[in-house]
Amino acid sequence: MIALLMRDLRLATRAGGGFGLALAFFLIVVSLVPFGIGPQGGTLSLIAPGILWVGALLSCLLSLDRIFALDHEDGSLDLIATSPLPLEGVVAIKSLAHWLTTGLPLVLAAPVFGLLLHLPGQAYGTLMLSLLIGTPALSMLGAFGAAVTVGLRRGGLLLSLLVLPLYIPTLIFGAEAVRRSVAGGAIATPLVFQAAITLGVLALVPFAAAGALRINLR
């Protein structure tokens, strides 16, 4: 499993779908917002929690189709499926590789992007914590969507349409936690709900994604 993880990390970096692309897209989203609504600091700080979370969510979408597509194209996915490693473990490892190359860099870079939107100082910790809790669920749900659409020609749009509705609960509670932190309110409730969603996704989705892979590889 470690060898598979290291292989996916190398492939993600070489294929250009790793942290660089996600961070660049995140920066573009955050940079365009002041041009659209104006540079007023009060307005930007008000919408910053939602914009930062939407930007992180859309950045995670960019490389989802690469989770299984590259392995399917060169035939290595069939070899992995016939190996002693269970497909559920394969899904978990590939989701972890996606999170390490996409989700974790977004968590670390989020405070820098928060400065561009005048996010109040007390909310930076909550922003990073909510992204740290929520982004693993985004990667795992993305792996499920990638498993369902693997082998389909031009499946990128279908993958986005499939995954985006599944991202909404994580988006709602993540943005709400940051919004409450900006307002000086209690952040425990949205973070607990977000953590519960992530734990449920990590526990159940690998089996659903593995089932989808088995069907598509027949």
Query: Tokens 């993305």 identify what position?
Result: 142
Q: At CA 100, angle to CA 49 and CA 210, rounded to 5?
A: 105
pLDDT for 68 equals 84
Taking the C-alpha atoms of residue 57 and residue 46, their distance in angstroms, rounded to an integer, is 19
Instruction: Return phi, psi of residue 120, to 5°.
Output: -60, 150
R_g (Cα) of the chain, nearest Å: 18
The pLDDT confidence band at residue 3, using thresholds 50, 70 and 90, is confident
3-state secondary structure the chain: CHHHHHHHHHHHHHCCCCHHHHHHHHHHHHHHHHHHHCCCHHHHHHHHHHHHHHHHHHHHHCCCCHHHHHHHHCCHHHHHHCCCCCHHHHHHHHHHHHHHHHHHHHHHHHHHHHHHCCCCHHHHHHHHHHHHHHHHHHHHHHHHHHHHHCCCCCCHHHHHHHHHHHHHHHHHHHHHHHHHHHHCCCCHHHHHHHHHHHHHHHHHHHHHHHHHHHHHCC
pLDDT of amino acid 144: 94
Q: What is the pLDDT of residues 11-62, one digit of tens each?
A: 777 655 556 788 888 999 888 888 888 777 778 888 899 999 999 999 988 8
- Residue with tokens 């060169």, as numbered in its chain: 74
Q: Retrieve residue 180's tokens.
A: 């409450």
Average pLDDT over all residues of the chain: 88
Q: What's the pTM?
A: 0.90
The count of domains in the chain is 1
Would you say residue 123 has pLDDT above 90? yes
pLDDT for residue 204 is more than 80: yes
Residue 100 is part of which domain span?
2-216
pLDDT of residue 193: 97
pLDDT in tens, 60-101: 888 887 788 777 877 788 888 888 888 899 999 999 999 998
Distance of CA 30 to the CA centre of its chain: 17
Arithmetic mean of pLDDT, 183-189: 92
Out of 34-43, 116-125, 197-206, the most confident range is 197-206
